[in-house]
Structure 1
Amino acid sequence: MSIAQKLYEAGYITYMRTDSVNVSAEAVKKTQAFIAKNYGNDYLPKYARTYKTKSKVAQEAHEAIRPSDITKTANKLALDSSSDKVYTLIRNRMLASQMEDAVIESTQVKVRVSEYFFKLNGQKILFPGFLSVYPESTSEQLLPKLTESQELFLNELFAEQHFTSPPARYSEASLIKSLEQYGIGRPSTYAPTISTILARKYVEKEGRNLIPTDTGMVVTRLLEKHFPNIVDISFTANLEEDLDHIAEGKRVWTEMMHDFYQPFAKQLEVKDKEISRDDFTVLGKSNYKCPDCKRPMIIKLGRYGRFVSCSNFPECKGMRSEDGKTEADQAKEAYTNEFLSLYKPAPQTEDGKDYLLKRGRYGKFWAHPGYPKIKDAKPLEFTSAVFKKVYGTKPKSKDGKRMVLRNGKFGEFWAHPNYPEVKEVIRLNKKEIEAKKTGSGDNLERFCVIIAVLFYYTHLHFLFAR
């Protein structure tokens, strides 16, 4: 969307936040003239093509997305690689929409083997039509020349095994498609909605996939439990339809606000007293027993991520880390052979006491025995052998000095010893480093459509509360 925004601001395409399929008569005429000149009259249909949207919620105040000047190619505009692809896609779509149909000959061959039949399908393009600019939409599958009752001989026989796959995870594109399908949001709000759920850490991006965070899962569960009518997909679609009716002058806005907000405000008052802290901190049950009272424990979401807490909290303050270790277990881990094969021994205080191994928001660290009253913490340091395996040999700066490993906002990096005075750095691949440290990648649970619509309810609440 950001690329399309730049193309629009540069005057290369029409307004892009629309799902309209309407095109001005002038643009159609120019497109037809270009097709006739560059492809020939055979590629022009008898009448100009017009289209009607299939979407009930389409906003057709603008034209369809099209090039401002159909005669200009991406090369003529000297666009960068990303803009070139987006512009070419829009331009080819506009050209194809005004070209003649392709003529394709389809053939089906049935081969009988005893009482069994095998089918073979083929197709041949007789006239390319719009496929001249949209070749990726179909391809030829040519069959050998065969005659009826011809005897065939087996050349090769092989078996293939296929498995049913689960539904694909949502990407930005597939999530927008679902929102459109259910009538949630409008073209102008799709991009801000996704930006919002990413900014609020409800989801994270892993490649193209949107992955739910613990915060997102907790918020979703809280809304589904206490506000099922608000997060209902049909309710959202109907609300969007009401807003459209207001824009079209078919409904009075004060009436609509009263019908929505009065019961919603009462519901908020009730839930403000009813919702407990557990509703937005408890993630689920745990298999561990409390180290203090032996009661069952639950998984909670804290300031620094997941941890396991006694189900009898606050009467019992028993805790474990996510992997089931108590603070005592954590401290003992610092003296195991496995730990010492990876990290250097615990540093010591001035009076000779060992620092304690603890786990915080960003992982394990050394803490002063008096922590947190004495706010003294130190990072863990790999042994020389492990350090070299994870990070390799320390690189040299331009002036021949060994660079220093530092940690910044975007992860670890090599820096000049006199950084930041000398701004010489080498970025490290965060995923590769994490994989080397842990020996495995992430395995996170996935998200659902419902969190995407949270953006709307939050804003409506603030709007009506004013």
Structure 2
Amino acid sequence: MSAWRVQSVAVKLIVEREREIQNFKPEESWKLKVSLNAKWIDFTSELAKIWDKAKKIKNQEDIIKVLSTLWINTDNFQEKKDKKWNIYYEIPLLSDFELIASDKKDSIRTPWAPFTTSTLQQEASRKLGFWVSQTMAVAQNLYQNWHITYMRTDSVNLSDLAIGTSRKFIEENFWKEYSLQEWRKFKTKQANAQEAHEAIRPSYIDKTPENVWLEWNDLRLYKLIWERTVASQMKDAIVETTTYTFSPTLAANQQWITKWEVIKFAWFMKLYMEWTDEENEDAEETNSSTLPEMKNWEFATSRSLFANQVFSKPPSRYTEAMLVKKLESEWIWRPSTYAPTITTIVDRWYVEKIEKKLAPTDIAFMVNDFLEIYFKKMMDYKFTAKIEEELDEISMWKQDWVKMLEIFYEDFKKDLLNSDENALKVVEKVWRECPECKEWELIYKYSKSWKFIGCSRYPECKYLENIVDASKEEYLNTLREKYEGKPCEAGWTIVVKTWRFWPFLASSLYPEVKWIWKIPNEEIMALEEKFGWEKCDKCEEWIMHVKPSRRWPFLACSKYPDCKNAKPLPKE
């Protein structure tokens, strides 16, 4: 067990988010859309207002009330279910919808600033699927080989040389219109930023991702840094937003809204677009690639109406990118320390990674609650930000470090003595008698890697047992039936062993015989049988195999990394 002003606060954020998810109660609502056609173009419009007031449809009763105003018979509705088992109705509706208002506006999108440590970690997580620690390791390698500038920085500034060479590259390789007339300088938004270094950028702008020789992951990160740097010195993009407001002739008090965005001048967007942390699993169907050109008081014809049941969603668990962004927004520690912080809380089993999301373990809840009671000041988000400010002042000789530590320790000592005198040992009971000593109760215990059951009289009674998960046990039994008893190439037979995160295959003489193997991925094996075992078309010597990745499988040469031939699987 350990506590630390950054580590513990990071765990607190993850625990608080998990409790939000656990306490979340979904709320039902409905969306009402109509399929319209005008000038041979199909598009959709959604009910937004009735009598100039925003209309929120809460349940099926509200749907029936709205549909009745459109003279739709609701007696013979056929209820359908979508893939998420939400109810929806598809109703034929032949009616005219009059365009009562239209609006077109141009908005400007400015390119994102060059990378800081924090934004690089976030974007590499989103776009490349890198863990924060992996991003820093790859960036370190690029820096040590003179490909990028120093990668631990809070600054978004570029040197005049970098800006000048970026503009020259843009003018020579894009049209001149893409280049700015005046240099663009960025200002950091972080109050306690340390700007001793430049932003993270390529050491030489003319070394494009296409003409630099790098390992696969190094190249992917270098490409991200290069594109972001060059795009930061390109013109703002212009996006046109069109809004149509329709009113059905059957119910003139209703307003149905259609919105559409189109990029008029992409400029920097041609080279670089930033991703977000929002999940797009439920991305709705969009309109066609364009809307019809219509004037006020013209009509569109409806074909069908769709009523869809939706439920509000709980907040998502933090990804590493989301956690880094949150830590930075609360001014908690320095971005360069986020990678070791996340690594520490995972290694010490406060947090586990589930489908690329950070989920707290039982230990995290217990330790967090204990610290919240007895070390409340240390767990305050503002406390860490305040400490950072004081450390900055010490570095500039504006504050005496001895006095600062004395003030800190005085409060901390009180909390320490209070917890020592009043804190009770937290025990989670199993509510069963120990079968070995038959006197004491069984309780849940924790090691660094897992939770198990033991006697409360330990060390006098050393009884231990594993916690059985029915679904995991069923999966393990399936694996045992499939693999155990088969000959092992290292000697004796194969057995299924379990580790902290997943099962694996080993020799029955393990650990004396150090042979271990991953459980074969049946999907990859099927793809390998279908697409693998062809001769590499680059080195013309070795064989192409199907390789797994975080996003999707791909084909790669078996001679990797000597032969770097990699390509996506055929679309079939």
TM-score of the alignment, normalized to the shorter chain, above 0.5: yes
Q: Measure, in 2, the Cα distance between the counterparts of 1:213 and 1:183.
A: 25
Residue type of the alignment partner of 2:421: K
Aligned residues of 1:202 and 1:216 also touching (Cα < 8 A): yes
* Structure 1 residue 177: Cα displacement: 1.1
Tell me if 1:394 matches 2:473: no
Aligned residues of 1:415 and 1:426 also touching (Cα < 8 A): no
What does 1:241-390 align with in structure 2 at a 5 Å threshold? 241-276=389-424, 278-279=425-426, 282-283=427-428, 288=431, 300-302=444-446, 305-307=451-453, 360-361=465-466, 389=481
Q: Measure, in 2, the Cα distance between the counterparts of 1:417 and 1:137.
A: 49
Q: Measure, in 2, the Cα distance between the counterparts of 1:240 and 1:271.
A: 26
Residue type of the alignment partner of 2:519: L
* Structure 1 residue 231: Cα displacement: 1.0
2:372 equivalent in structure 1 = 224
1:122 equivalent in structure 2 = 260
1:16 equivalent in structure 2 = 151
Aligned residues of 1:43 and 1:129 also touching (Cα < 8 A): yes
Q: Measure, in 2, the Cα distance between the counterparts of 1:424 and 1:181.
A: 47
- Structure whose residues are more often helix by fraction: 1
1:79 equivalent in structure 2 = 214
1:235 equivalent in structure 2 = 383
Q: Measure, in 1, the Cα distance between the counterparts of 2:292 and 2:268.
A: 27
Aligned counterpart in structure 2 of residue 109 of structure 1, from 244, 250, 253: 244
| Residue deviations 1:194-233 (CA, integer Å, cap 9, x gap) | 1111222211222311222222222111111111111111
Query: SS state of the match for residue 76, structure 1?
Result: coil
| Count of aligned pairs | 362
Query: SS state of the match for residue 45, structure 1?
Result: coil
* Structure 1 residue 388: Cα displacement: 5.7
Q: Please, which runs of 5 or more residues in structure 2 have no aligned partner?
A: 1-135, 277-285, 436-440, 524-572
> Closer, same or farther in 2 for the Cα pair 1:429/1:243, shift >3 Å?
farther
Query: SS state of the match for residue 158, structure 1?
Result: strand
Aligned counterpart in structure 1 of residue 272 of structure 2, from 113, 116, 134: 134
> Closer, same or farther in 2 for the Cα pair 1:144/1:412, shift >3 Å?
same
> Closer, same or farther in 2 for the Cα pair 1:225/1:87, shift >3 Å?
same
2:53 equivalent in structure 1 = none
> Closer, same or farther in 2 for the Cα pair 1:429/1:360, shift >3 Å?
farther
> Closer, same or farther in 2 for the Cα pair 1:247/1:404, shift >3 Å?
same
2:517 equivalent in structure 1 = 426
Q: Please, which runs of 5 or more residues in structure 1 have no aligned partner?
A: 320-357, 365-380, 433-466
Query: SS state of the match for residue 155, structure 1?
Result: strand
Tell me if 1:65 matches 2:65: no
Residue type of the alignment partner of 1:413: L
Aligned residues of 2:452 and 2:464 also touching (Cα < 8 A): no
Q: Which has the higher contact order (CA 8 A, sep 6+)?
A: 2
Aligned counterpart in structure 1 of residue 293 of structure 2, from 145, 167, 188: 145
What does 1:160-175 align with in structure 2 at a 5 Å threshold? 160-175=308-323
1:405 equivalent in structure 2 = 495
Aligned residues of 1:107 and 1:123 also touching (Cα < 8 A): yes
Residue type of the alignment partner of 2:139: A
CA RMSD of aligned residues (A): 4.0
| Residue deviations 1:341-368 (CA, integer Å, cap 9, x gap) | xxxxxxxxxxxxxxxxx8624769xxxx
* Structure 1 residue 267: Cα displacement: 3.0
Query: SS state of the match for residue 243, structure 2?
Result: strand
Q: Measure, in 2, the Cα distance between the counterparts of 1:407 and 1:21.
A: 49
Tell me if 1:214 matches 2:362: yes
1:378 equivalent in structure 2 = none
Tell me if 1:177 matches 2:325: yes
Q: Measure, in 1, the Cα distance between the counterparts of 2:275 and 2:375.
A: 44
Query: SS state of the match for residue 15, structure 1?
Result: coil
Q: Which stretch of the first structure deviates more once superposed, 267-276 or 167-176? A: 267-276
> Closer, same or farther in 2 for the Cα pair 1:124/1:211, shift >3 Å?
closer
Query: SS state of the match for residue 259, structure 2?
Result: strand
Aligned residues of 1:202 and 1:213 also touching (Cα < 8 A): yes
Query: SS state of the match for residue 87, structure 1?
Result: helix
Query: SS state of the match for residue 156, structure 1?
Result: strand
* Structure 1 residue 34: Cα displacement: 0.7
Q: Measure, in 2, the Cα distance between the counterparts of 1:425 and 1:82.
A: 27
- Structure whose residues are more often strand by fraction: 2
Aligned residues of 1:122 and 1:141 also touching (Cα < 8 A): no
> Closer, same or farther in 2 for the Cα pair 1:219/1:424, shift >3 Å?
closer
| Residue deviations 1:375-414 (CA, integer Å, cap 9, x gap) | xxxxxx99xx96664547836649xx87422637674314
> Closer, same or farther in 2 for the Cα pair 1:124/1:404, shift >3 Å?
closer
Aligned residues of 1:397 and 1:416 also touching (Cα < 8 A): no
